[in-house]
Amino acid sequence: MARIQFKHITKTYAGGAPAVDTLNLEIKDREFLVLLGPSGCGKSTTLNMIAGLEDPTSGELWFDDLDVTYLPPHKRDVAMVFQSYALYPHKNVYENIAFGLRMRKVANDEIERRVRDAARKLEIEHLLERKPGQLSGGQRQRVALGRAMVREPAVFLMDEPLSNLDAALRVSMRAEIKHLHAAMGTTFVYVTHDQAEALTLADRIVVMQNGVVQQIGTPDEIYERPANIFVASFLGSPPINYLHGKLKQNGDHVSFVNDNVRFALDASTIARIGSRPEKVVLGIRPEDVQITTAGGNVIEGLVDSVLPVGSDRFLGLKINGSDFFIRVGKEARFAEGERIAFSPVPERVHVFDGDSGKNIAGAS
Amino acid sequence: MATSSSTARRNRAIGQNLRAAGLALASIVFLIYVLAPVSWLISSSLQQEAALTSVPPQWVPEEPHLDNFRAIFSAGEEEKVTYETRREADTASGGFIPSTAKNLLPAMGNSFIVSIAVVILNLIVAVPAAYAIAKIRFYGRSASIYGILITRVIPDIALIVPFFLFIRNLGLLDTLTSLVITYLAVTVPFSVFILVSYFEQLPDELDKAARVDGCSRIQTMTKVFLPLAAPSLVALSLFAFLTSWNEFLLALMFTQTAASQTLPIIVASFTSDFTISFSFINAAGVLAIIPPVILAIVFQRYIVSGMTAGAVKG
């Protein structure tokens, strides 16, 4: 159990731009926090600094009321699960799990109890005598989890722990990790580049790019009110669609206009809009549209591809030469080359500044 | 269709047989090339001096005898070799012993002490150095790697004079310590280099995992990296041992008396006597190759895996 505070933390590697730039972040006790971003965004560096594996260049890091900025990893109460599992190849599963406890001089019978307990929970009791080389990827992953669990740490760190697993196993392990968090009642910090994983697991998500925090919020906040175009693009699959144009005032009404689209914004969106930049970008998620034939606010496009995903069906459209994805019901039948019309759900469109990319209708 | 596929199969079978035969032939040629000098060494150490020069050579001695070995092991109470005793001995048939023969066993002892000391100090120095270079990012890291590499491309003979001045000023001439110091300078860079490339192949996450699990840097090295590096450690220990065991040039410079002379120096001295007994020199050669051969046989499993290190993933 620990509250983690980053105070103006910057990490710069020799001769490079900052990997993490002036990070201010408070991770609450028992929170499940996910650091999300593309590779090289600074999320793993952030995690390594919590573990003590890397020292910040400047700033302070606190666990509760303890300044741990330069405390070496073995003196911090943290456990970590790695993407490559990093099991000790020369030790069997039992000794791999027990190693952290042995290093901390825990009594033998207590080690035995905790290892057996963790092995039972993770269903790897029958593997305790094996060496890591004899295990499958999923089994190694469980051993790595067990090694961190038995430590009963104040902070539980995970660096893309599911990336090396196949798709089906990844989904089931997500559920197990969520249970683990509930059962352990400790602070979890989880690094991933997989937005679905982040949305599933997190209490709060921190989206990072080039070492800078783009947005901190609950999964809903991040998805429904992305702070900027980068965040909006990073979450959602297929990704959000964009239309470039201008805002036009007409009495109380504000419309988005470009060469072939005219779309009236709804009152709640207008109310949230702060600044009025010259150029804007309208963001529309594939699921936030309805197929129509008539009425206002209609956008037309040519069906370029039909993409069934089982539960749903996506259409890849061409609108003025650019791609646009929408979700339609799985029963809907469309042929390639067909001309269709749809209208975005007015209260669910996002309006971004065309230059800075900031969401100008962000605050709710 | 059927015939053409069976023809193809037959052709493939012939090809495989030819390949196997070719490989076997090449192996035999290589074995002969490697083993012939050793066989001749052993065989000639058991022959009379006259038989040694006979044509055709006797690969299996017709009158084998152990006089040379007896002379080496009874060197303590050997009869005094003087000009007279030498004259009595028939130079054509051999049967005489070089005047420095009694130094052979002590020299072997010296060689052993020096080699073992070099191996142990190599491990003590090279392991932490290699771990630090491979896994810790510090200023001057690549400079130290290049520094180590550069010392490996300088031929030993270029260092003889500086080494000599260094050893003389330390007052260490004619001591085993001088040999240990200079052999370390020659072998440690190579050991570090082997270990760095091995440690670099072990994932960084293994290092991180150990440290998060509660190991200090030293403990990470001793509890995780050392056990994994065992094959490499054996390989580099053997290398250090053999280098020290065989080294001639530096030993020739720094040793003057039997107190510190090593095996190669003593064996070489057998050729600088009044007369040369090749069968005796070969007997000394047989003794000289026994320790390395024993080591190689005991650790052969590790030598191969040490050379191909890095395959130990996950």
What pLDDT does A139 receive? 92
ipTM over 0.90: no
Q: What is the DSSP letter of B168?
A: H
Q: Determine, for residues B209 and A48 on separate chains, whether the beta-carbon distance falls below 8 Å.
A: no
Q: Determine, for residues B314 and A99 on separate chains, whether the beta-carbon distance falls below 8 Å.
A: no
What CA–CA distance (Å, rounded) separates A281 from B119? 70
What CA–CA distance (Å, rounded) separates B221 from B228? 10
Single out the residue of A68, A124, A129 nearest to residue A94, CA to CA: A129
Q: Determine, for residues A103 and B212 on separate chains, whether the beta-carbon distance falls below 8 Å.
A: no
Of B205, B214, B314, the CB nearest to A89: B314
Cβ neighbours of residue A161 closer than 8 Å, sequence gap 6 or more: A81, A82, A83, A141, A144, A145, A173, A177, A190
Is pLDDT at B21 greater than 60 in this prediction?
yes
What pLDDT does B22 receive? 94
What CA–CA distance (Å, rounded) separates A181 from B231? 41
Beta pairing partners, A209: A212
Radius of gyration of chain A (CA): 24
Query: What is the overall mean pLDDT for chain B?
Result: 85
- Token pair of B274, please? 């009044």
What burial letters (b/e) apply to A328-352, b meaning 16+ CB within 10 Å? Answer: beeeeeeeeeeebebbbeeeebbbb
pLDDT digits (tens, 9 = 90+) for B97-139: 777 788 888 999 999 999 999 999 999 999 999 999 999 888 8
**Residues in B 102-141 with any Cβ partner in A closer than 8 A:** 139
What pLDDT does B306 receive? 58
Nearest CA in chain B to A79: B212
Q: Determine, for residues A80 and B203 on separate chains, whether the beta-carbon distance falls below 8 Å.
A: no
Is pLDDT at B92 greater than 50 in this prediction?
no
Residues of A in Cβ contact (< 8 Å) with B209: 80, 82, 86-88, 147
Domain covering A240-353 assigned CATH 3.30.70.890 in the classification: no
**What's domain B103-307's architecture?**
Orthogonal Bundle (1.10)
The amino acid at A214: Q
Instruction: State the nearest Cα–Cα gap between A89 and chain B, in angstroms.
Output: 6
What pLDDT does A9 receive? 95
The amino acid at B101: A
What CA–CA distance (Å, rounded) separates B22 from B29? 11
Mutation for testing the A interface, residue in B136, B141, B142, B212 having most A CBs under 10 Å:
B212
Is pLDDT at B263 greater than 80 in this prediction?
yes
Chain centre to alpha carbon of residue B281: 19
Single out the residue of A325, A314, A309 nearest to residue A167, CA to CA: A309
Is pLDDT at B93 greater than 80 in this prediction?
no
**Residues in B 68-97 with any Cβ partner in A closer than 8 A:** none
Residues of B in Cβ contact (< 8 Å) with A72: 211, 216
What CA–CA distance (Å, rounded) separates A159 from A266? 42
pLDDT digits (tens, 9 = 90+) for A262-282: 888 888 888 888 778 889 999
Q: Determine, for residues B314 and A133 on separate chains, whether the beta-carbon distance falls below 8 Å.
A: yes
Q: Determine, for residues A83 and B205 on separate chains, whether the beta-carbon distance falls below 8 Å.
A: yes
Determine which helix (DSSP H) or strand (DSSP E) holds B264, and give its type and residue range.
helix B263-269
- Token pair of A167, please? 């798709």
What pLDDT does B310 receive? 40
pLDDT digits (tens, 9 = 90+) for A288-341: 998 887 777 888 889 999 998 888 899 999 988 889 999 998 888 888 899 999
* Residue of higher predicted confidence among A261 and B85: A261
What CA–CA distance (Å, rounded) separates B61 from A345? 103
Task: Give CA separation, B262 vs A347, B103, B265, B271, in Å.
Answer: 91, 9, 6, 16
Residues of A with CB under 8 A from a CB of B: 14, 48, 51-53, 72-74, 78-80, 82-90, 99-100, 103-104, 132-133, 140, 147, 151, 157
**What's domain A4-233's architecture?**
3-Layer(aba) Sandwich (3.40)
Per-residue pLDDT averaged across B170-192, rounded? 93
What CA–CA distance (Å, rounded) separates B287 from B101? 13
Q: Which residue has the tokens 């009594």?
A: A107
Longest dimension (CA), chain B: 90
B309 pLDDT band, cuts 50/70/90, is very low
Beta pairing partners, A255: A248, A264
Q: Specify whether the CB–CB gap between A234 and A40 falls below 8 A.
A: no
Residue B212 touches chain A, beta carbons under 8 Å: yes
The domain limits of chain A are 4-233, 240-353
User: Residue A78 — φ and ψ, nearest 5°?
Assistant: -125, 150
Q: Specify whether the CB–CB gap between A299 and A342 falls below 8 A.
A: yes
Nearest CA in chain A to B225: A88
What CA–CA distance (Å, rounded) separates A62 from A60? 7
For residues B45, B48, B52, B53, the Cα torsion angle rounded to the nearest 10 degrees is 160
What CA–CA distance (Å, rounded) separates B36 from B114? 30
**Residue B274, helix vs strand vs coil:** coil
Vertex B167 angle, CA B163 and B173, to 5°: 125
What CA–CA distance (Å, rounded) separates A338 from B158? 83
What CA–CA distance (Å, rounded) separates B127 from B226? 8
Q: Specify whether the CB–CB gap between A344 and A289 falls below 8 A.
A: yes
Lowest-confidence pick of A18-27, B75-84, B181-190: B75-84
What CA–CA distance (Å, rounded) separates A72 from B217? 10
Q: How are beta strands A32-36 and A204-209 bridged, if at all?
A: parallel
What CA–CA distance (Å, rounded) separates A5 from A9? 10
Vertex A126 angle, CA A125 and A130, to 5°: 105
The amino acid at B285: G
pLDDT in tens, chain A (364 residues): 689 999 999 999 877 889 999 999 999 999 999 999 999 899 999 999 999 999 999 999 999 999 999 999 999 999 999 999 999 999 999 999 999 999 999 999 999 999 999 999 999 999 999 999 999 989 999 999 999 999 999 999 999 999 888 888 888 899 999 999 999 999 999 999 999 999 999 999 999 999 999 999 999 999 999 999 999 999 998 999 999 999 998 888 888 998 878 888 888 888 888 778 889 999 999 999 988 877 778 888 899 999 988 888 999 999 888 899 999 988 888 888 999 999 999 889 999 999 999 999 875 4
Q: Which residue has the tokens 């005489």?
A: B96
Q: What is the DSSP letter of B224?
A: I
Is pLDDT at B308 greater than 60 in this prediction?
no
Size of interface A-B (CB pairs under 8 A): 70
What pLDDT does A56 receive? 95
- Token pair of A315, please? 């259409």
What pLDDT does A119 receive? 94
Beta pairing partners, A257: A246, A262
The domain limits of chain B are 2-45, 103-307
